[in-house]
Each structure stands twice: as C-alpha cells, then as structure tokens.
C-alpha cells in the first residue's frame, strides 16, 4: 500500500506543564504524521519497567487519553490528534520535576523516538513541574477593617478581617484556612499546608486616626 515505504515517525508538540498539589489539571499535546494517521499513543517514562520489561508511567496520578485513534486523517497538520494529559495532584506529592515522553505510532509502525535531551522539551519530551498550592494563588488585599487597637484585635474584629479576605478572594480553595493574628497579620493555609501571608498594614487601620 501507499504506507509501505513510509519511514517518517509521528511528531509531537507538547508544552511546559505546571501542576499544583491539591489541584486538578488538564493539558493537551498535539500529534501529526505525514500519513495523516496515528494508531497508538503512549505517555511513558523513558526506561522500561524492571519487572515487566514494558513501558510504564509514573506518578500514578498522571493520566492520559486520546480519542479517534486509528482513523484516517486523525493526525494532519490542519487537524492534529490531541492527547489529553490530566489528573488530580495529591496533597502530599513531593514538589519537583518529572520528565516524560509521548510516543505515537503510525500505520506503517513508525514510532516517535524518545530523545533524552532538553532541546526536545515541548516536543515528544515534556517537563511536568509540581508546585505547592501557594504558588498558584496570589491573594488580593481585602477591603480595610477598622479596629479599636491595632496591636490587639478583638475576636469579632479578627473574624471581620477573615471574612473580608475570603470575600476579596473568591477563587481560594474553600478548604483553605484564614487565620488572623492579634495584630492583624493574615495567614492563609492551603490544603497542602503551604501558606501565604498578607501584612497587617494592608488589612486593618486604626479607627481613631481614620
């Protein structure tokens, strides 16, 4: 057939993927082949599993799926095949970097080569960076709460500050804890235990000198 002397492997365009502990993610890689067709896509570690001698993928929360495999015209330049990379990052995941590969096979059995070189990042090789939750959020200052004594906020004043911070930051995870110290400093503790702080001078003012 026309594919019998085809020696060109599918090409992959991935990206620089950043994910956060305690958060879900979804990214897409695009795959094309000179034949216009891809039959199989595997996302994998570069080495083989020592026990089974087969390709494998870690961490186990990194999932992938590809629709329309094996269809003529499913992987053209005009209409690339899309492989979805998705998952939920566990709260206790170690912050760090994973380098993984996307390997596609065309009808003539040409398979994308895994090249262990950073100049391939964003192609068939991609870097998945796990960050702590506080790197995702940049808390906005709340509307100011006026208090009687800047060095000793009452319980109700501290509650008012916490409510103002929550109102100013609707995208914060609902499980994030907002604590207010006696002097008005705000600490936001994310579900993964990472923290952000907002200094008191951006949160409270003295009633007396308003």
Could you tell me the domains of the chain? 11-131 (2.60.40.4140), 145-209 (3.10.20.890)
Q: Express each pLDDT in 136-161 by its tens digit.
A: 999 999 999 999 999 999 999 999 99
Q: Which residues are annotated as a binding site?
A: 6, 8, 33-34, 106, 134, 137, 196
pLDDT at 4 over 90: no
Q: Which residues are annotated as a binding site for Ca(2+)?
A: 6, 8, 33-34, 106, 134, 137, 196
Single pTM value for the model: 0.88
pLDDT at 6 over 90: no
More confident of the two residues 209 and 6: 6
pLDDT at 5 over 90: no
Q: What angle do CA 194, 94, 199 make, to 5 degrees?
A: 15
- The arithmetic mean of pLDDT across residues 200-204, rounded, is 96
CB 206 within 8 A of CB 150: yes
**CA dist 21 → 33, 93, 112 (Å):** 35, 6, 31
Q: If you count them, how many residues does the chain have?
A: 210
């Amino acid at each position: 057939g026309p594919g019998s002397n085809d020696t060109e492997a599918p090409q992959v365009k991935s990206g620089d993927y950043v994910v956060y502990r305690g958060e879900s993610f979804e990214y897409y890689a695009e795959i094309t082949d000179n034949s216009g067709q891809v039959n199989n896509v595997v996302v994998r570690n570069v080495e083989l599993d020592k026990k089974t001698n087969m390709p494998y993928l870690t961490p186990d929360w990194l999932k992938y799926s590809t629709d329309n495999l094996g269809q003529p015209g499913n992987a053209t330049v005009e209409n690339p095949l899309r492989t979805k990379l998705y998952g939920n990052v566990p709260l206790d995941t170690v912050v760090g970097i994973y380098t993984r590969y996307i390997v596609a096979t065309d009808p003539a059995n040409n398979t994308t080569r895994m090249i262990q070189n950073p100049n391939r990042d964003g192609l068939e090789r991609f870097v998945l960076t796990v960050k702590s939750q506080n790197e995702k959020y940049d808390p906005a200052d709340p509307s100011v709460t006026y208090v009687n004594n800047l060095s000793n906020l009452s319980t109700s004043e501290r509650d008012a500050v916490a409510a103002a911070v929550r109102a100013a930051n609707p995208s914060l995870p609902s499980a994030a804890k907002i604590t207010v110290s006696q002097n008005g400093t705000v600490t936001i503790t994310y579900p993964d235990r990472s923290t952000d702080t907002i200094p008191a001078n951006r949160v409270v003012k003295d009633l007396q000198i308003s």
